[in-house]
Amino acid sequence: MSGSQHVTTGEQVRPQPRRFYDGGVLPVGDRIGLPPDPAHDPRIVLERHLEDGLEVFSLERRIAYDDRHLGEILVPATTDFRTDLTSTPALFTWLVPKTGAHLPAALVHDALVAGGGEPSYDSTEGHTIDRVEADRVFRDAMADTGTGIVRRWIVWTAVTAATIFAPGGLPRSPAWSPAVRWAHRIGAGASIAAILLLGYWSTADLVDRSWPLAREVPWMGEGAWWLELLGGVSGAVVLPLVLGLLWGRFRIAGAIAGVMLAVLLHVTLGLAAVLLAYQLLERLASRAPRLAIALAVAVVLAALVVFGWFSLG
């Protein structure tokens, strides 16, 4: 049985921290397992591993979560489960850190989707949890940890987008025929492409540059720069809300993703440039330290020349 009919609801969840509790211990070898204990808070006991150069963790104790629709969920299901905590790209850790109040919910979600696109877990009551439903569980579980409403909907949007585009991420069932699955992927992809294109046009219009393939956008008009900027921001809100309808059953996620992408596009590109420069410098410093030192000296000398030029005339 799958509970994925709950995924698109916009219901507000009242935080109930006691829905998380100690999940006990899985039996390993001669070690006797321990059952879940609803009377005690969850204990997150992590063991660090390095696998293929990446830092991952195993859970020494299980986490139990009492979902509103599926009942008790115990994770992980096996002792070989590994997690990178909250799977946030380095570019966005300022918005969603790797750890924090949301960590128990993130660990539950990681364990539920550990099997990739296939249903990876049955709840204690026998409900099969596919990846779409796991995303909904994640959203509600974040509410129960006290995660802010804005952050949890942003995080749910991110994992929903990953589910849509991941091979096998969408369920394989009569309600999710191949045509329906592809319609959602194409619609989501088309909306993202449209927002990027409109952002490119709007930026060219704002700076009054004739960039390749750029077009004037009517919602920015002609006037003072701040009026054009105000029009651009309005377009970055209104148009993604409309394009979000292309996400079908995930239209709420589509609207959130679209507005976030449009509003933070330039900030994200700036952060990406800084992150790329840092990674290149790290690689240069490790592979050619003398060249890195020479480059650093050249940058400092150039900065002194420019500083003196502008300061002393």
Element (H, E) at 71: strand 71-75
Q: Is 191 helix (H, G, I), strand (E, B) or coil?
A: helix
What mean pLDDT is reported for the chain? 90
Residue 159 has pLDDT above 80, yes or no: yes
Which of 226, 253, 296 is closest to 261 using CA atoms? 253
Residue 4: CB atoms within 10 Å? 22
User: pLDDT by residue (tens digit) across 26-57?
Assistant: 888 777 889 999 999 999 999 999 988 889 99
Q: Average of pLDDT values for 259-277?
A: 91
**Length of the chain as a residue count:** 313
- The Cα–Cα gap between 307 and 313 comes to 10
Provide the percentage of residues in the chain whose pLDDT is more than 70.
94
- What does each C-alpha distance from 296 to 147, 276, 281 come to in angstroms? 42, 17, 10
Residue 1: per-residue pLDDT: 47
Q: 121 pLDDT band (50/70/90 cuts)?
A: confident
Structure tokens at 42: 């969850």
Q: Is 204 helix (H, G, I), strand (E, B) or coil?
A: helix
Residue 10: per-residue pLDDT: 57
Residue 119: per-residue pLDDT: 53
**Is 178 or 90 the better-scoring residue by pLDDT?**
178
- The Cα–Cα gap between 7 and 147 comes to 19
Q: Is 139 helix (H, G, I), strand (E, B) or coil?
A: helix
Residue 151: per-residue pLDDT: 92
Residue 94: per-residue pLDDT: 78
